[in-house]
Amino acid sequence: MMSLFDNVAGAVLSKLGGEKGGMAQIAMEMFNQNGGLNGVLDKFKQGGLGDLAASWVSTGANLPISPDQISSVLGSGAIAEMAEKFGIKPEVLTSQIAQYLPSVIDKMTPNGEVTGDSSNLLNTVLGMLK
């Protein structure tokens, strides 16, 4: 089931092209690898950055995150694999994730909470790219 979704998402996102299309694909990959929005948020909590992640979910201001913090939470191995898959350097990947992840999660949780609707990552990411 996921692979069909991934193929459709990949086809849609690759048509966008450019940095935004690439970032959208990176976001999809990261959420897929970590079990969706809840999985990503749990990973940040386990990494001691639950307060940052909570700021992205809440309706207040989004706290910033550094590329080093992204790397420590997701793990350098996972970052290296993802970077290789997208043909970019790991430090480029972590800086892009650091730049976009807070707003992606913020837009996935418009009411300040994680709901069933929040799992619709593709619509969220595509909405941000318009």
When pLDDT is cut at 50, 70 and 90, the band that residue 28 belongs to is confident
Task: Report how far residue 17's alpha carbon sits from residue 8's, in angstroms, rounded to the nearest whole number.
Answer: 15
Domains along the chain? 2-129 (1.10.10.690)
Cβ burial, residue 123 (10 Å; 0-12/13-18/19+):
exposed
pTM summary value: 0.77
Q: Structure tokens of 14?
A: 């690759």
* pLDDT at site 29: 82
Confidence check: pLDDT of 109 > 80: yes
- Write the pLDDT tens digit of every residue in 46-92: 999 999 999 999 999 999 999 999 999 999 999 999 899 888 899 99
When pLDDT is cut at 50, 70 and 90, the band that residue 27 belongs to is confident
Q: Structure tokens of 32?
A: 């897929």
